[in-house]
Structure 1
Amino acid sequence: MKKYIKPKEASEFLGVSVKTLQRWDKEEKFKAFRSPTGRRYCTKEQLFEYQGLGKNDKKNVIYTRVSTPNQKDDLVNQKSFLLNYCAGKGVIVDEVISDLGSGLNYKRKNWNNLIERCFKGEIDTIYVSHKDRFVRFGFEWFENFVNKFGTKIIIVNNDILSPNEEVVQDIISILHVFSCRIYGLRKYKKALVDEKL
């Protein structure tokens, strides 16, 4: 998060409208600073203080994920690898969060909870072993999103792929999504046929 925060960014962080922030400023509930041209702004310290969060209250988190239950050994390996990395860097890990589910699934409970906590300004840094452990598509979008709220994502073992290899990985992921949908449609169609009989 930048040192000086515009009203729109502050409103997103606090979960209120810009007009509410303007009203709070007039009521001195959340007093804004003014630029030389009269524009309102606030600081990240103000936002954290308003939310009851001090700088030291933000947490360093390890996030691990596997797609299926038979990969649970990999969860242990990810956790061990990331804990060793953080220990080597002198980073105190406050929490380890794990999920079981596809990287294409945005309904992962623990992942969604983690994003919500970033939005509230509770998370300082997320340590992940690979981009696709966090999210399969749109990693850069999520990285930019949480950055607005003062959270960094550190990819510890980011395998550098050539542009061709990245395209192949993306195509495989897309095929996987659509093959799952087709399978789901077949089950749905069978259920309809059975219902008519």
Structure 2
Amino acid sequence: MKRTYRLNEFAQLINRSVKTLQKWDRLGTLKAHRTITNRRYYTYDQYLEYMRIRPNSPKKVVVYFRVSSATQKDDLQFQRQALETFCTARGVAVDDWLYDVGSGLNYKRKNFIKLMDVISIIQSFSERLCGLRKHKKMIRLAVSDEV
């Protein structure tokens, strides 16, 4: 059985108000299903449709890593090796490897900007961004179009 959402749950999920969903239901923009007691509810398929996510769409895996300064360039190779090991162990085929040499305090990082542009185009909860910072745990963030 597919997941269903109450009106307020769905509103929060798509970052809209309950009143907006009620209006959309009346106008036919996004029709709600109804329970036996006439309560509105939404399905997971409606969520996917609203978010413009195609369930079987091909995904692209991009790995990004960076160091803060030119004196740390040697660490780039170690980071790549660690990320390759991580991806191989989990059976993840990497489509693209991106790296930068630059501070994390600003956005003057060409490949980071390129990656953020790709993510903003995707507009999907299903895409994932994985990163590894030296001496830190693996970080996994689910990227959405409304962060």
TM surpasses 0.5 = yes
Provide the C-alpha distance between the structure 2 equivalents of 1:123 and 1:22, rounded to a whole number of angstroms.
Answer: 27
Q: Give TM-score, length-normalised by structure 2.
A: 0.57
Partner of 1:55: 55
Instruction: Give unpaired runs (5+ residues) of structure 2.
Output: none
Which residues of 2 match residues 164-183 of structure 1 at below 5 A? Answer: none
* Structure-1-length-normalised TM-score: 0.46
Q: Deviations 1:104-149 (Å, cap 9, x if unpaired)?
A: x375762782796499216533332238879xxxx7xx94xx37x5
Q: What is the alpha-carbon distance in structure 1 between the residues aligned to residue 107 and residue 4 of structure 2? A: 33
What is the deviation of 1:66?
1.8
Q: How does 1:17-166 map to 2 (within 5 A)?
A: 17-34=17-34, 38-43=39-44, 45-57=45-57, 58-99=59-100, 100-102=102-104, 105=105, 107=107, 110=112, 113=116, 117=120, 120-121=123-124, 123-130=126-133, 143=141, 146=142, 149=144
Q: Secondary structure at the match of 2:29?
A: coil
Counterpart of 2:22 in structure 1: which amino acid?
Answer: Q
Q: Which runs of 4+ in 1 moved over 4 A?
A: 34-37, 106-109, 131-134
Q: Which has the higher helix share?
A: 1
Across the aligned residues of Structure 1 and Structure 2, the Cα RMSD in angstroms comes to: 4.1
Residue correspondences, number: 132
What are the ranges of 5 or more consecutive residues in structure 1 without an aligned counterpart?
150-197
- Contact 1:48/1:54, CA 8 A, preserved across alignment: yes
CA distance in 2, matches of 1:114, 1:36: 45
Q: Which among 14, 17, 20 is matched to residue 11 of structure 1?
A: 14
The structure with the greater share of residues assigned to strand is 2
Secondary structure at 1:90's aligned position in 2?
coil
